[in-house]
Amino acid sequence: MRFWVRPPKGIIAVMKLKVHYAAEPKPEALHILESNLAASIHLSVGVDLPSRPKFQVLINGTPKRAHIKASPELETLVIPYAGLPHATRELLFEYPHIKVYNLHHNAAPTAELAFALLLSAAKFIVPFDHSLREHNWTPRYQPNLSLLLEGKRVLILGFGHIGQRVGSYCQALGMEVLAIRRRPDLPLPPRVQAQVYPPNALDEVLPRSDIMIITLPLTSETDGLIGAKQLSRMKPGGLLVNVGRGRVVDQLALYQALKDGTLGAAGLDVWYNYPQELEERQNTPPADFPFNELDNVVMSPHRGGASQETESLRMQHLANLLNALIEDEGAVNPVDVSAGY
């Protein structure tokens, strides 16, 4: 185990916060975290717990019961990424006094990928690219299937950090934004203009939608939310982009809708089957149906939040969250364990 204690800078605040990060960050990432922390935050780092744990905050996305019970002073768990793992949620039900927060450092890269998938699917960039790589210009002289996005209406399912960014990108392209959100009454950032509806309005807004973009987490309420019925209620030949979780959309319904033209195209970054072992990474089909045989699908291997800057963003956001705790600035990215996100 490696152990660091951040030395205080200047005058130490009255309140001190002991934090343990149960990981081994790279030195450059750790430097970003430490250099942005308030002086009164004492940070220990390592997969193993300190010899005498007395931390109030644990940073760990998948803690074991031993991590939770180790420090009698533990009151806060920080998940260093978006989402709430199922096993972590089940464990936390046993410790209702622990406050839980997560990070949304990956919101910008994920939103950018969603928009890239939207443009790629709408313009059929992938099959055109494949043809021209074979020196085949035929698609240029065939009826063009590309969809004009300006003036279209996009429905965004899940209108949090990622969904709002996607909405602002769509606005810039001249699209009208509809959104489904668990709390439609919450205020939106000034840059975002959208008609926001509660989840029970989904059937009402689908017939008005040319495009559906999914940024939802997977919960008992969202699992299988979009099936054949919902896809058929969209405007014919519409587009679907999913950067949330694969199982939000029924995979058979999605495959059939793409194959028969109910959906014109889709861009997918999240899937149904994932490799469990290292040797499976080169031979695991992402679904039970051959999406790879469809020209109207853009496939991405769940890399939405990845970028060259992602780890730096994680550390900056983590420091901001910890500083907010010490400075009592109110909740930053609180997680509702009962709701699952």
* Start-end of CATH 3.40.50.720 domains in the chain: 17-105+309-327, 107-299
As a whole number of angstroms, the distance between CA 189 and CA 164 comes to 8
In order along its 341 residues, the chain shows pLDDT tens digits of: 444 444 444 333 446 899 999 999 999 999 999 999 999 999 999 999 888 899 999 999 999 999 999 999 999 999 999 999 999 999 999 999 999 999 999 999 999 999 999 999 999 999 999 999 999 999 999 998 899 999 999 999 999 999 999 999 999 999 999 999 999 999 999 999 999 999 999 999 999 999 999 999 999 999 999 999 999 999 999 999 999 999 999 999 999 999 999 999 999 999 999 999 999 999 999 999 999 999 999 999 999 999 999 999 999 999 999 999 987 656 689 999 998 88
Decide if 6 contacts 42 (C-beta within 8 A): yes
Distances (CA, A) of 116 to 52, 119, 217, 232: 48, 5, 20, 24
Does 3.40.630.30 match the CATH number of domain 107-299?
Answer: no
Q: Give me the architecture of the 17-105+309-327 domain, per CATH.
A: 3-Layer(aba) Sandwich (3.40)
The radius of gyration computed from the CA coordinates of the chain, to the nearest angstrom, equals 22
Q: Which strands make up the sheet holding 211-214, listed edge to edge?
A: 195-197, 176-180, 153-157, 211-214, 238-242, 263-268, 297-299
This prediction has a pTM of 0.90
Retrieve residue 322's tokens.
């910890």
